[in-house]
Amino acid sequence: AQSVTQPDIHITVSEGASLELRCNYSYGATPYLFWYVQSPGQGLQLLLKYFSGDTLVQGIKGFEAEFKRSQSSFNLRKPSVHWSDAAEYFCAVGELGGGNKLTFGTGTQLKVEL
Amino acid sequence: DGGITQSPKYLFRKEGQNVTLSCEQNLNHDAMYWYRQDPGQGLRLIYYSQIVNDFQKGDIAEGYSVSREKKESFPLTVTSAQKNPTAFYLCASRDRVNTEAFFGQGTRLTVV
């Protein structure tokens, strides 16, 4: 069965510092991978997605992620964090075929210090 | 504007009562999903549906029921059999297997 692990429950960074959020997945074939962001009490917004091709994908709000098959990872990065980036971030893996399931990690809460 | 609408935003229920959460989408998506979100546990899949009149159990379906009579609607009923229903519920829809899911704004259910 597919699964996603986000090992960091909470991360605190200073505004202007770089950010990397970790995501590891378990999936038998080439995965479809996503990063979503959630503000308190709101739904989820897609930051970026990977289906195939270039392993470095660019998303909205200056985020990027790199797919590394050998490490089963899809880490999210941002060179310079803004205070408005404080939110919860979820990594997800999609299932191929008839299942159409999306499995999410447990999330990483990002706090930005001014 | 196209999107997913969940209603109500807040819902209070007495113990022993069934309650239905609404989810409507006008994106013409085939697949729809219900997730439950609890602090520290991420999103857990309750039910999902790929086409009208068909749905599958997710990882935590016990105590919940759904229907998919129309493509645009996927209501979730939280029954009295659900032992701990207080949570934030998110509905999502998806076009084909290789696209992202779009989410509603959620319904916060509280059992009083």
* pLDDT tens digits, B72-94: 999 999 999 998 999 999 999 98
- Best of A91, A101, A109 to disrupt the B interface by mutation (most B CBs within 10 Å)? A101
Picking from B49, B102, B5, B93, the residue whose alpha carbon sits closest to that of residue A49 is: B102
**Is A81 buried (19+), middle (13-18) or exposed (0-12) by CB count in 10 A?**
buried
Query: Are A100 and B45 inside 8 Å of each other by CB?
Result: no
The percent of residues in chain A predicted with pLDDT above 90, rounded, is 76
The pLDDT confidence band at residue B1, using thresholds 50, 70 and 90, is: low
Residue A16 in this model has a pLDDT that exceeds 90:
yes
DSSP β-ladder status, B101-103 and B87-94 = antiparallel
A1, pLDDT greater than 80: no
Which tokens go with B88? 């934030």
Per-residue pLDDT averaged across B54-70, rounded?
Answer: 96
Least CB-CB distance to A100: which of B31, B35, B90?
Answer: B31
- On the CB side of B8, CA atoms within 13 Å amount to 7
pLDDT score recorded for residue B2: 73
Give the distance, in angstroms, between the CA of residue A93 and the centroid of all CA atoms in the same chain: 10
Contact list in B for residue A34 (CB cut-off 8 A) is 100-101
